[in-house]
Chain A
Amino acid sequence: MNEVISKVLKTGLYLSLAVTGLGLILVAVRPPAPTDLRALPIPELARGLAHGSGVAVLDLGLVLLMFTPVARVVAALVTFAMQGYRRFTWISLGVLAVLTASLLAALFTGATAG
């Protein structure tokens, strides 16, 4: 359990920081207009990436960073379920449900703002 969680955190953290670093380089090379300096709503990220936007790469790095603890909860959930700890499987599902509610709120706000 602990080794799996540790690996998930390490992978997510280094991947997200690498993408964020790349985004900063892209933004430094091709500075965006000040008006474009806002986080893209999550549904618009893919479009921004397809257009090679440095800000979109930066946003992707930050979103990956935000999803790292979520992946950690999923890893714990799967491990608890496989080990047959029903109580903690339900508790992990509860945490995941709260995080999903928060993400949906962000998507909804992002969709309306965008």
Chain B
Amino acid sequence: MLTDLLLLGTGVLAGLFGAALGLGGGVIMIPVLTLVFHVPMHTAIAASVVAVIATSSAAAIHYVSDRLSNVRLGMTLEIATTVGAIIGGLLAAHSPDRLLRLVFAVFLVYTAATMLRGGERKMGQRGEAAATSEGLRSQELAAGPADMGEWGDHYHDPNLKKDVVYRVRNLPLGLGASFIAGNFSGLLGIGGGLIKVPAMTLLMGVPFKAAAATSNFMIGVTAVASAFIYYGEGFVNPVITAFVALGVFVGASLGAGWAPRMSSRLLVQVFSVVLVVEALLMSAQALGLPVR
């Protein structure tokens, strides 16, 4: 019973910090499950992948009704993310626990480095800036929505106080990046926003806000593609997964309210150190060294 409550609490904290730092719950939840609760890596990934469905669906409800998510582009890229996720899920299902820990540790270090450089938002904005300097930025098209092509879209930006219209370019490259993002999502039980958002802004000319919302829109469907694999392979522990999914959902819902106030530089720095320590501990476990 105490373990169950601790699991729920960990889920809530993962959701809270994930929302405050702009991360999915996976990078927090999986290390805690494996290092603190000694849950096998496959079970932890399965719990995370199911929890990701809950949090991304909750966020998508708002993004979709605010018209920030580009549904046509999202559906198109989902063909690549879902195929990638199935392959990632199958790879994970047949990979040894230790190898997955090592790969996850590398991903944690990548996440920490990305956070220190300003996270998804900064990467997205850098992508927008690079696209603009190349003269490729396709926002504010003179002809308005009629000029946005089949995959382009438009939304109202309250900060800019105007409608933003954009065209989508380099779709094949975007499909490639989406496949890789789906692959990592299926392999490690993560959302993959750190790959998709920069790809959409930098390669495809999608404004950051629309890219983040569209990436989130895709996460649920992508996660399901590998969740079915994990479920079928028997890696879903219903109690652990339920506590984690409910906890992360509640935490992320609460966190959405106070996230803007929390995202201080100090928090990011502290958390990056935590991620690196987790990466070291998971690597040590993978190499068979005694941890705790």
Contacts and interface: CB of A to CB of B under 8 A. Distances in A.
Nearest to B223: A69
Interface string A8-52: 011011001100110110011000000001110110000000000
Interface residues of A, number: 56
B249 interface: yes
Interface string B238-260: 11011101100100000000000
A105 to B, nearest CB: 6
6 contacts: A6-B61, A13-B57, A66-B227, A66-B231, A105-B86, A105-B228
Interface string A54-69: 0100110111011111
Contacts of B246: 17, 20-21, 24
B65 interface: yes
A70 interface: yes
B64 A95 contact: no
A107 B232 contact: yes
A76 B75 contact: yes
Given A37-B237, A59-B238, A65-B54, A2 B82 contact: no
Nearest to A59: B238
A65 B50 contact: yes
B76 interface: yes
Interface residues of B, number: 47
B72 A103 contact: no
B202 interface: no
B236 to A, nearest CB: 4
Contacts of B89: 102
Nearest to A38: B234
B186 to A, nearest CB: 10
B8 to A, nearest CB: 9
Contacts of B134: none
Given A5-B64, A24-B243, A41-B232, 18 more contacts: A5-B71, A6-B64, A9-B64, A17-B246, A24-B246, A39-B234, A39-B236, A58-B239, A59-B238, A61-B242, A63-B231, A69-B223, A73-B75, A91-B79, A94-B79, A98-B82, A98-B225, A105-B228
Contacts of B78: 73, 95
